[in-house]
Amino acid sequence: MQKLLIVVCVGVGAAICATAAISAEDLVAAVKERRDLMKKTVAPAAKLGGQMVKGVKPFDAAEAAKAMNEINGVPDKYVTLFPKGTEHGGIADKQIPDPDDQSEAKPEIWDNFDDFKAIAMKLKDASAKAASAAEQGKGTFTAAFKDMTKVCKECHESYREKLDD
C-alpha cells in the first residue's frame, strides 16, 4: 500500500524539518472511525431524541438526556479525525472499495478548518443544553433539540458531500 509522506517544516533560523509518515491505512482508519461516530453514536441518539420530539415515541426525560449526552461526547474526538487526504475522493477513498464507507467530507473543510471546528463545538454546547433541557420536560427539550438540529444542518450544508441521496 502506498505511503504518504507529509513533511512538516518549521522555520526557526535554519529550517528544522520533522518528517512524519502517515500510511494510507491510517487515513482509512480515520474515515471509518469518524463515520462510525456519526452512524453508530450520533444517528441512533438523534433518532431517539427526534422520535420523542416528533411524538413517534413517548417522551422519557432520562432516555432523552442519555441520548443527548452520547452526542455530547462526540465532537471533541470527531474533529481530530480529519487528517489531510481524507476528503471525498482523496487518498483514503481510493483504498475504500465500498462507496458507502467512503468519505463524505467536502474539501472545503480544510479551507475553513476553524469554522468547521467551531460548528463541532456548537454541537457540543447544543447537545449539553438539550441534555439538561430534557429534565425540564418535553416542551423545553423540543426547543433545545431543534436548536441542536440547526447546528447539524449548518455543518451538513457547507461540509458534507452527500453523494448518493
Terminal CA-CA length for the chain: 31
Q: Rg (Cα) of the chain, in Å, rounded?
A: 19
Please identify, using beta-carbon distances, which residue of 47 and 77 lies nearer to other proteins.
47
Alpha-carbon distance values, 67 to 38, 63, 98, 134 (Å):
13, 6, 29, 10
Scored b (16 or more CB within 10 A) or e, 110-137 reads beeeeebbebbebbbebbbbbbebbeee
Instruction: Restricting to residues 98-157, name those near other proteins by CB under 8 A.
Output: 98-100, 102-105, 108, 111, 146, 149-150, 152-153, 155-157
Please identify, using beta-carbon distances, which residue of 8 and 80 lies nearer to other proteins.
80
Instruction: Restricting to residues 39-68, name those near other proteins by CB under 8 A.
Output: 39, 42-43, 46-47, 49-51, 54
Instruction: State the residues that interact with other proteins by CB under 8 A.
Output: 34-35, 38-39, 42-43, 46-47, 49-51, 54, 88-89, 93, 98-100, 102-105, 108, 111, 146, 149-150, 152-153, 155-165
